[in-house]
Amino acid sequence: MASHSDKRFLVFFDFDETIVDETSDDMVVQTAPNQHLPSWLKDTYEPGRYNEYMQRVLGYLSEQGVTESDLRGVMEKIPATPGMLNLFQFLRARSQDFEVVLVSDSNSFFIEAWLRRFGVRQLFHRVFTNPATFNRNGRLVLRPFHSQDCPRCPVNMCKQAVVREYAARRTQERGRPYQRVFYVGDGANDFCPALCLGARDVAFPRKSFPMHQLITETHEATPGVFKAVTVPWANAEEVAARLRRHLAE
Report the binding-site residues for Mg(2+).
14, 16, 186
Contacts of 182 (CB under 8 A, 6+ apart): 9, 10, 11, 12, 201, 202, 203, 204, 243
**Residues within the annotated binding site for substrate?**
25, 105
Active site residue 14: yes
CA atoms of 132 and 70, how far apart (whole Å): 15
Q: What number of residues does the chain have?
A: 249
**Residues within the annotated binding site?**
14, 16, 25, 105, 186
Select which of 6, 16, 70, 201 is catalytic.
16
Show which residues are catalytic. Answer: 14, 16
